[in-house]
Amino acid sequence: MRHNRIIWWSSVGLMVGLTTGLFAGAAAPPSQIGAGNAVFKDEPQARALYDGMIAAFRQPRTLSYKYEWRWDAQGRELGRGTNLVWLKKPNQFRVEARWPDGRLGGTLVGDGSFLWIFWPGDRPQSSSTKEEYEKTRSKVYMKEETPLAQHSIGHKVISLGVSMNLPIFDASTFHGYTDSLQPYLDGAMGMGTEKVGDEDCDVIEVSFMKHQRSWYLWLSRKDHLPRRLQEIVRASRGGTIHEVWSDIVIDGAIPAERFVWTPPEGWRQWTPPDPEELLLKPGTPAPDFELTAVDGRKIKLSDFRDKIVWLYIWRAG
């Protein structure tokens, strides 16, 4: 029997994949997207507004806000919800994710040393096997260390079970964290002024990765924080994320108990399985599967029988 030999490479960050004719995923390699928009003018005034937003986010001792989000892709809505966020120096935080009808999804609590994620009912289905999920679906929590300025609240929001996309702006910026997109910042351009509710806002576009991705920010002239955000990903299966921020309180009093959580009696810690645990063992025949290539073609693993296939999965952000 003839089989494929598969080489699997998966990482987080900005990467380019080279394969033997097979490249599939939600986005094409950076070299193939946005080439026509490779030049982005970095305007000093707009860049100063962007830098001012970062500074305004990091300066307070406490900050709380609510944001409603919506995710659209390929002409349809993929999800929506509301997140409530509380932040406190030096390293405390809380995020509550709510469904559109107001039901609580998951909660994320950072007590200064650890983060805790827990759910009011069953935890969301994850990459774990069906058997493992059935054994660990209820009365479980997640716990991780949170070194100051070295952890991302934004990357953990997906675990709360309501949203399948990352927030546009990572709340850990408040604690000194720099998100993974910043090294690929092209610059910022001004787009005039506009009101969001009663707020006068400066509007800027911030470009990343040679204009493959843009943030559109409506920054309040009162406190330089966002009131509206939009992210556009220009990819073969790109999408748009919309956020509207409200109830922003700077340096307000936040009860200490908001940043504390203790597992109830009978609960146990759950740790997501290492991705390597789910990989096929060496020598195991690979099952056939079909994916969409960057040019829209449907390709199957069996199309490359007797060849070495390198799957290179990359992500930026």
Assess whether pLDDT exceeds 90 at residue 102: yes
Q: What tokens were used for 45?
A: 């005034």
How many independent structural domains does the chain possess?
2
Contact, 29 vs 23, CB < 8 A? yes
Interval 149-206: pLDDT, tens: 999 999 999 999 998 789 999 999 999 999 989 999 999 999 999 999 999 999 999 9
Strands (E), the chain: 5-10, 62-73, 76-88, 92-98, 104-111, 114-118, 140-145, 185-196, 199-208, 213-220, 226-233, 239-250, 268-269, 290-292, 298-300, 308-313
**Could you tell me the CATH number of the domain that includes residue 254?**
2.50.20.10
Interval 251-285: pLDDT, tens: 999 999 999 999 999 999 998 877 777 777 888 88
Closest CA to 112 of 144, 90, 132, 81: 90
* 56 and 107 together in one domain: yes
Q: What are phi and psi of 306, to 5 degrees?
A: 70, 10
pLDDT of residue 293: 76
Q: Which domain holds residue 137?
A: 35-269
Q: Which of 11-15, 96-100, 125-129, 237-241 has the lowest mean pLDDT?
A: 11-15
Burial class (CB in 10 A: 0-12, 13-18, 19+), 249: middle
* 117 and 21 together in one domain: no
What does DSSP say about strands 239-250 and 298-300: parallel, antiparallel, or unpaired? Answer: unpaired
Q: Residue 177 CB: number of other CB atoms within 10 A?
A: 18
Average predicted confidence (pLDDT) for the chain: 85
* 68 and 190 together in one domain: yes
* 71 and 151 together in one domain: yes
What region does 102 belong to: left with phi over 0, alpha with psi -120 to 50, or beta? left
* 12 and 79 together in one domain: no
Closest CA to 275 of 9, 28, 29, 3: 9
* 98 and 25 together in one domain: no
% residues pLDDT > 90 (the chain): 62
Tell me the C-alpha distance between 70 and 77, whole Å.
7
* 14 and 132 together in one domain: no
Average pLDDT over residues 286-306: 85
Model's pTM, two decimal places? 0.80
Q: What tokens were used for 83?
A: 């997140």
Tell me the C-alpha distance between 4 and 305, whole Å.
5
- Where is pLDDT greater, at 61 or 306? 61
* 252 and 288 together in one domain: no
* 250 and 141 together in one domain: yes
* 81 and 9 together in one domain: no
pLDDT of residue 206: 97
* 125 and 153 together in one domain: yes
